[in-house]
Every structure is written in C-alpha cells, then in structure tokens.
Chains A and B, each alone.
Chain A
Amino acid sequence: MSNDRIFGLVVVLGALAFIAGALSIQSSFLTDPVGPKAFPLMIGAAAVLCGLVMLLKPDENPEWPDARAWLSMAAATLLLVGYAYALSPLGFLLSTALAAGGDQLVDPAPRTAGGADWHGTVGAAFRRLQIRPWPGIVRPATGAAGLRGDS
C-alpha cells in the first residue's frame, strides 16, 4: 500500500477526531451567530476532503532512511525530550552537559571529520564559545510572549 494512502487515512481519521472534538466544545452563555464550533468544523471538513484526495490519488513513495538512521533519529528524539525536561529544573549548563554526554549514544556511526558525528559536540561548542556558568537557570520571559498575532 502506498505511503500516501496510509497518510490519507491518518489524515481522514485525525480530521474526524478533530470534528468530534469540535462538537464537544462547550457553548458559552453568550453565543454569537457562529459560535465556537463552526470554524473548527469547517477546518475539519476541509481536512477530510484533503485526506480523501490523498487516499484516492497517492503520489509516489518517498525514499525512507535505513534502520540505523531510524535508530539514530529515535535516540535523538529521546535526547531532545530529555533535554527539554532537564532544562527547567537542572538549569542550562548542567542539562546541556548531560545532553552532550547523551550524544554519545545517538549516532553509532564512526567519528568522521565533517560527517554526522556530533559526539560531545554540544560540550565542544560550549568550550569554544567560552560560555560562563550562569547562576542557576535561564530566566524566562522577555516581552512578546503573547504576540501570537504577529504576522
């Protein structure tokens, strides 16, 4: 089965789930003529159509990476997730150092100049940048966090 058919199916199912989610949105005491459900429903319907088109008219399959690359990418994902969790409680330096150590596990490829090798490179990058230890943590929030309308 072509990848696009699987993807199309996933899109259709996801869109149906989205529509189901939209239907369960609570209405408020003050509703306008459109309400909070209508627009998500329109999006869901459009996505179902797109999924069906993909299902019926698939493109050619892409070239997928080999098993080893998959493994590396999975390990990298885990590492990034771990880094995300570590950044807040451990602070910037410690978690980055840990991530740099965890690097060793990510890519089993041999160390080659300019290759995919990022063993310990985060640490190396730090040494090169001569970053001094910050006291404790990265402090959150300068302005603009709420500027989601920036377009």
Chain B
Amino acid sequence: MTKLSFRALMGGAALAVTLGGNAFATECIAPADAGGGWDFTCRQIGKLLYDLKLVDQPVQVTNMAGAGGGVAYTHVVTDRNEDADLIVAASSATTTRLAQNAYAGMTADQVRFVGAIGGDPGVIVVAKDSPFQTLGDLVEAIKADPTSVTFAGGSAAGGFDHLKPLMVLKSAGFTDFAKVKYIGLDGGAEAITQTIGGFTQAMTGDMSEIAGFIKSGDVRALAVLTADPVPGFEDIPTAKSQGFDVEVVNWRGLYVPRGISDDEFNAWAEKLQAVADSAEWKQIMADNGLAPFTKVGADFQGWIDGVVIDTTQLSKDIGVIQ
C-alpha cells in the first residue's frame, strides 16, 4: 500500500507540475532566444508587472525564436488570437519585418500594439583590436571594397540590425546595398562573440545587448545612432557628430493579440504606463543604456501605423523589397 501511495504521489506531483503550475499566469512571449533585446523586454516588464502588483502571478516568459520574430507572430495570430493573458515583446525589428512583408504575408494590423516604454539606441561596434577608429574609417573601407567588411547582427538578413549600417551608408552616398555583407545570428550576444573572434569585422546591435562588452573593453563602439550621446556612455560619439545624419532607436514595447476586447487592451495600456512611470523602470533603463521613449495605447498604435508606412518606403529605397 505504501508503494502504491508513493507511486500516486509521484505521478500526481509530476502531472501537477505539468498542468497546474501556470493556471492563470500572464505569459510573455520573447520572440528570440534568451539574452537578446526581446528577451530583456519580457523579463524586465514581466518582473515589474508582478513587483508592482499589476498582475497577481509571476509573468512567465516563453522564448520562441525563429524567422526574426515571425514564428512568434504567426503563433499569436493563428493560435492565440483571443488570449487576453498574452503579451509579446516587440520592437522596431517587429515593425520593420512587418513593413517588409517578411512574416509570410502577415500584416501589422493582425495584432494590437500596446505601447513602447523605452528606446534602445543603435550602436555599431568593432573588436578592440580593429583597424577602424571612427565610423568614417568603416564607411570608407566599405566604399573602397564592400566585400572587405562583414557585419554581424542579432536579426535576420533584411532585419532591423541589417538596416542600421545600410542607413549609415545611404547617408554617406553609398547605395550598392546588395554588396554589403551581413550575417544574422540568434541574438546580439552571439553576434558579438563572432566579432570578437574576428570572423566578422563589425557588429550592429542595440546598446542594451552590448553595454557589458563595451564596459569590459572587448569591443569598441564606433558610433551610437542617436541625436545625443547616451547617458552613461557619453564618450561614444554619435553618428551625427561624425557627419552621418542617421538616427536609429529601437523602441521596446509590447503587442497583444488582435482578438481581445478594447477594455482588455486599455487595461494593458494602463499597466504598461504604470511600469513606465515607476522608479524601478527608470533605474533599469539607466543601467542598460536605454533612452526614455514612452508611447502607450491608441496613441502608440497610430504612431506604429505611420512607422510601418515609412519603413516600407525606406526598404524600397534601399532595395530590400520591390
């Protein structure tokens, strides 16, 4: 009999672990592997939502990598369209790929964008022993021989990280974009590893992914793609100060499924605003090189619609879509 009850206990415990552990918790999907920007968004917002008592159970984070966020997007649109307990990390990369019709025909109006609560400045870095000292050096080298430089980034080819150097090159008058070499890796950390190892000559990414490596001295930032220097990283020159009129900030925010009600949407918007207003979030932004950038609710949705149109135009200009 003891044997039997022991068995029952085991089986029951295992099943309870499988089934019961997450009965009504909010789930946040990070559409990339752990360690990248989307993962960061889910972890931090998820933690604050719980710490600030905006949700009553810890937020569970699911990493769903693939196709630059397309896998998660497809999943949300097709499988979870009415799930009001689901939030998904989003960023400029999401709208970029939507604008380029890169999510297998999915469009930006198939989900609702709740808000952005921070901006992650774009950065271009090289290994510490790289011959390139300024952004100008790098651009000149590419102009002279486009095959001499390979960029590594955390997004797929044609994605936001890929567009960053192309925008810089465009502002410098170089438009043969197809010749610029770029490899997409799973997240910024891997891209940095490849650059430190000398397999790629430069890495493009967001400040939050790179901050630790800049501080440790393994990589050197050539330029930050913001209007003003980023607090905490004042010694990194902006691209503008080096004569390249480019500004690329990767906003960090969330989208939710299309099928939820307006009330549920507004509830998420309020919660996100509360996170944005908290002192904890301001500290997190400062620690991770994020610049303040808050747009929430209907306001944000309208802004996104404009961004998608602009990005589509830009992508056509630089030739990544027809």
The reply to whether A142 and B65 contact each other, CB–CB distance below 8 Å, is: no
Residue pair B320, A141 in contact (C-beta under 8 Å): no
CA of A28 to CA of B8, assembled, Å:
54
Contact stretch, chosen from A5-13, A40-48, A124-132: A124-132
Q: Check if B72 sits within 8 Å of A142, measured CB to CB.
A: no
**In the complex, how many residue pairs between chain A and chain B have their CB atoms under 8 Å apart?**
63
Q: Please classify the interface of chain A as helix (H, G, I), strand (E, B), loop, or mixed, using the class held by over half of its residues.
A: loop
Q: Which residue of B lies closest to A33 (CB)?
A: B181
Contact A128 B64 (CB under 8 A): no
**Taking the nearest CB of chain B, how far is it from the CB of A101, in angstroms?**
21
Given contact pairs A131-B15, A143-B60, A146-B62, A30 touches B21 in the complex (Cβ within 8 A): no
Mark out the residues of chain A between 99 and 116 whose CB falls within 8 Å of any chain B CB in the assembled complex.
none
Asked if B186 is an interface residue, CB under 8 A from chain A, the answer is yes
Contact of A131 with B12 in the complex, beta carbons under 8 Å: yes
A146→B71 CA distance, assembly (Å):
9
A-side contacts of B186, CB under 8 Å: 149
Interface size counted on chain A using CB atoms at 8 A: 22
The interface size of chain B toward A, counting residues with CB under 8 Å, comes to 30
Let me know if A145 and B64 touch, CB within 8 A.
yes
The smallest beta-carbon distance between B30 and chain A, in angstroms, is 8
Contacts of A64 in B (CB 8 A): none
> In the complex, which residues of chain A have a beta carbon less than 8 angstroms from the beta carbon of B8?
128-130
B279 within 8 A of A: no
Enumerate chain B residues within 8 angstroms of A139, measured Cβ to Cβ.
Answer: 19, 22-23
Complex partner residue of B158 from A30, A129, A130, A131, CB under 8 angstroms: A30
Cβ A30 vs Cβ B60 within 8 A:
no
> B7 at interface (Cβ–Cβ under 8 A)?
yes
User: Which residues from chain B contact A81 at a C-beta distance below 8 Å?
Assistant: none
Chain A interfacial positions (CB closer than 8 Å to B): 28-30, 32, 92, 125, 128-131, 134, 138-139, 141-149
The 7 closest A-B pairs by CB, nearest first: A146-B64, A129-B11, A30-B158, A30-B157, A146-B63, A146-B65, A143-B62
A-B contact pairs, 28 of them (CB 8 A): A28-B158, A29-B320, A30-B157, A30-B158, A30-B178, A128-B4, A128-B7, A128-B8, A129-B7, A129-B8, A130-B8, A130-B12, A131-B12, A141-B22, A142-B22, A143-B60, A144-B63, A145-B63, A145-B64, A146-B33, A146-B62, A146-B66, A146-B71, A147-B33, A147-B65, A148-B66, A149-B33, A149-B65
Task: Please give 15 more A-B residue pairs, beta carbons under 8 A apart, in addition to A30-B157, A143-B61.
Answer: A28-B158, A30-B320, A92-B19, A128-B4, A128-B8, A129-B12, A134-B20, A138-B19, A139-B23, A143-B60, A145-B63, A146-B63, A146-B66, A147-B63, A149-B65
